Structure 1
Amino acid sequence: MRYATEEAFGLSPRDIEIAEDIIGMKATKTTFKEIAEKHSISDRQLRNIRRQKVFREYIRERTLERFEDEQGDILAVLVAKAKQGNMKAIQIYTDIVGLKRPNQIEVKTELRRSTRDLSNEELEAEFASIQAELAELLGKDEEQILN
């Protein structure tokens, strides 16, 4: 099987097979030693291949390709579990779609400053209106608020 990423990386067919085996290690429960034996190379040779930047980049690309292929199935399972009430699935789903949990909601306040300077009379009038509003909210008269 050939993938679009193979040509871009310039790896040998053997290296590509090794990469595919490494990507599938978890599913097949194989070890690096078994992969080396399968391809008739030593553990050291396999380690050297794995250290190559191009090889690591290929594995990363292929892993992302595989995830993209399976992403729909993964999301379907996640949504099904979330609908069943699985809290971890709900949390992961809300994180994926960008919803915030109630304890993570952010409140942003913005201070706006007048672009022009106010005269003393305007400042006193603004201050008096704020005092009156505060007195109304607290149910006190303005004299009690000042003291």
Structure 2
Amino acid sequence: MFVGVVIRNTTVHEKLPSAHQPSVDLVGNIALALFLVMALMSLNLWGMISMAGPLLILLSTQLIGMVIFASYITWHIMGRNYNAAIIAGGHCGFGLGATPTAVANMSALTKRFGPAPQAFIVVPLMGAFFIDLLNAIVIQIYLTLPVFGLS
């Protein structure tokens, strides 16, 4: 991801040939659609029918909590402007799913309301890179706790 950021920023500032943006967007949209299709196709929906009620309650609670958090905390901390709104939308996607969901949310918002390049740098970097690294560290720390008996 860092290599892509460096290449993109170098080619823009140095007036070097860069990738055709509509082509990059098309490939990104295809990759995102394939990811979502593969993730949804692997779900065993019939096996989860008995869990539909509790799952709906959990999902509703998560949705309400995420909307409140993104609206009142993320949007305010990020500056209460257009980029902050797109970041908050991405945060909703990340909080309800994963980084691809955040990118899909932000893509839908920017397609309707206009570009927000800062949001497309902040949210994927935080979601895909820093959070994944932090999760790996936190999981390792938790696994060393005596309650797990792995230490």
| TM-score relative to the length of structure 2 | 0.28
Q: Which of 1 and 2 has greater Rg?
A: 1
The structure that is helix-richer by fraction is 2
| TM-score relative to the length of structure 1 | 0.28
